[in-house]
Amino acid sequence: MAKVKVKRKSTLIDMTAMSDVTVLLLTFFMLTSTFVQKEPVQVSTPSSVSEIKIPEINVLQVLVEPSGKIFISLDKQEDRVNVLNAMSSMYGVPFTPEQINKFRLANSFGVPIKQMPGFLDLKSDIQDQTLKNYGIPCDSANNEFKEWVRAARKANRDLKIAIKADQATPYDKIKNVMSSLQDIKENRYNLLTSLKTLPAEDEPLSYKHHRAHETRRPLVCRIMIEKK
């Protein structure tokens, strides 16, 4: 009796469907991901047990490095342009269209307004290297920080203010920032922290309660964790 020959089938697997799914997933993650913004200085935020996430849009972030230098970032390019134009009119410092466009593309800024035109004329790599040497003035003689925040609030009423400070920054530097915010009626802001694991037997302290009690003013302060 003749043997029945089994026809060998091809082992080739059609990967078209898998490729389509991979491309769709890649496109989805690219469109929904939030890229880490470049900051002028690196800070190590203190830890807390709060699990409130920082918003992704309409955020004015105040960066305070250990020596007290202040930098600001705005997530919307339109807000940056409107704020710069407002500061230009207030201090009588003109800017060229090219300088305005450079400022629009900048993630963070922290240069005194009088020095801003010269800074914007620098190449991008030089700006990144030298920005950390400046800082927005925030003292009794010249408090440009309040004017930047005030102009940002006028440009975007939905802004949420977040303070990101290094854990080694002295308290008086942070207090100076908070006092400046209170002077312009900005009593709601957030402190950015990293998430800390809390033992089950411990109870978290209410920073909002302590700050409101300490200042005796209608201050509302929430602690938020930064997305890694």
Q: What is the pLDDT along the chain (228 residues), one digit of tens a residue?
A: 566 666 666 666 777 777 777 878 877 766 665 555 666 667 777 666 666 677 778 999 999 998 899 999 999 999 999 999 999 999 999 999 999 999 999 989 999 999 999 999 999 889 989 999 999 999 888 999 999 999 999 999 999 999 998 888 888 999 999 999 999 999 988 888 776 665 555 444 443 433 433 444 444 455 454 554
- 25, part of any domain: no
* DSSP element (H, E) containing 162: strand 160-165
Q: Helix 171-183 crosses helix 144-155 at what angle (to 10 degrees)? A: 50
Structure tokens at 35: 């890229």
**Does any domain span residue 196?**
yes
Residue 54 lies in a domain: yes
What span, in angstroms and rounded, lies between the C-alpha atoms of 139 and 49?
Answer: 32
| Spatial CB neighbours of 112, under 8 Å, sequence gap ≥ 6 | 134, 136, 137, 142, 144
Has residue 220 been placed in a domain? Answer: yes
> By C-alpha distance, which of 161, 203, 209, 187 is closest to 55?
161
Query: Amino acid identity of 139?
Result: D
Overall domain count for the chain: 1
For residue 208, tell me if it sits in a domain.
yes
| 148 SS3 class | helix
Q: Does 31 map to a domain? A: no
Residue 124 resides in a domain? yes
Domain extent at residue 145: 43-225
86 touches 113 (CB < 8 A):
no
Task: Decide if 17 is inside a domain.
Answer: no
